[in-house]
Amino acid sequence: MFNILLVDDEVKITEVIKAYLDKEGYNTFIAHDGQKALELFTQEEFDLVILDRMLPDISGEEICKRIRETSLVHIIMLTAKTEDDDKIDGFNLGCDDYVCKPFNVKELVLRIKAVFRKIEKEEIIKVGDEIEVNTLSHEVKIRGTEVSLTNTEYKILLLLVNNQKKIFTREELLELVTEDHYEKFDRIIDVHIKNLRQKIEEDTKKPKIIQTVYGVGYKFGL
């Protein structure tokens, strides 16, 4: 379930928007002023912020700026200002999209759905500070440094990361990650594992990420 922070001082607007978002199955938190919005943002993990530009205490621009100091969360700004310069200022501060008041709530919901479709496609899998895998771009970072993996190495790592409690035999790994018929002998997996370890392990003699289960196969070690 996606968490949404809705920030607007107009109570009726927030009630209507929340009703639509609840119907879509989203978990919506409401703040009617900037201070409450910042408090909620530090207390919860949000996937999207819908932020009114004009608030009674702290401006939407200032809230956007503060959020961007610590987070890349998607921000949709609600505004009654329609001038191009105003929108440019908002984008420069870090908002991702603009919806001008008055607006059709159904259109807003469609934009929100589009954001979450993008988030799902750009899923990033993290394991502590050790591993970060972008399943859309296939980019892999190990301890914060991007590493270049072959297609088979990437498949092995992703399979182990997604199945952290499972021990895979060589035969299982072979069937799951290799396609070319000439690689269909189980010891080729040992070669791929060796090459992968050289790229991701701090000490290949004492591997922590990919561990050998003697007599069985391999497992994720973190």
Confidence of residue 131 (pLDDT cuts 50, 70, 90): very high
The answer to whether residues 132 and 146 belong to one domain is yes
Total domain count, the chain: 2
- Specify the pLDDT at position 70: 81
- Specify the pLDDT at position 186: 60
The answer to whether residues 130 and 200 belong to one domain is yes
The answer to whether residues 68 and 138 belong to one domain is no
Rounded to an integer, the average pLDDT of 55-74 is 88
Count other C-beta atoms under 10 Å from residue 98's C-beta: 17
The domain that contains 214 carries what CATH number?
Answer: 1.10.10.10
**pLDDT tens digits, residue range 167-221?**
999 888 888 887 654 445 567 888 899 999 999 999 989 999 999 999 899 999 8
- Specify the pLDDT at position 4: 95
- Specify the pLDDT at position 95: 81
Confidence of residue 87 (pLDDT cuts 50, 70, 90): low
The domain that contains 109 carries what CATH number?
Answer: 3.40.50.2300
The answer to whether residues 51 and 75 belong to one domain is yes
Q: Tell me the pLDDT of the chain averaged across its residues.
A: 86
- Specify the pLDDT at position 89: 66
pLDDT at position 99 over 80:
yes
Report the range of poorest mean pLDDT among 5-14, 77-86, 128-137: 77-86
The answer to whether residues 133 and 95 belong to one domain is no
The answer to whether residues 207 and 145 belong to one domain is yes
Top mean pLDDT of 63-72, 87-96, 128-137, 201-210 is at 201-210
The answer to whether residues 130 and 99 belong to one domain is no
The answer to whether residues 165 and 60 belong to one domain is no
- Specify the pLDDT at position 177: 81
The answer to whether residues 81 and 153 belong to one domain is no
Owning domain of residue 22: 3-121
The answer to whether residues 146 and 204 belong to one domain is yes
Taking the C-alpha atoms of residue 220 and residue 209, their distance in angstroms, rounded to an integer, is 6
The answer to whether residues 42 and 85 belong to one domain is yes
- Specify the pLDDT at position 102: 85
Rounded to an integer, the average pLDDT of 64-90 is 77
Top mean pLDDT of 34-38, 69-73, 135-139, 215-219 is at 34-38
The answer to whether residues 104 and 145 belong to one domain is no
**pLDDT tens digits, residue range 30-58?**
999 999 999 999 998 898 999 998 899 99
Asked whether 152 and 194 are in contact (CB, 8 A), the reply is no
pLDDT at position 12 over 90:
yes
Report the range of poorest mean pLDDT among 17-26, 85-94, 128-137: 85-94
Whole-number Cα distances in Å, 70 to 73, 90, 134:
9, 17, 20
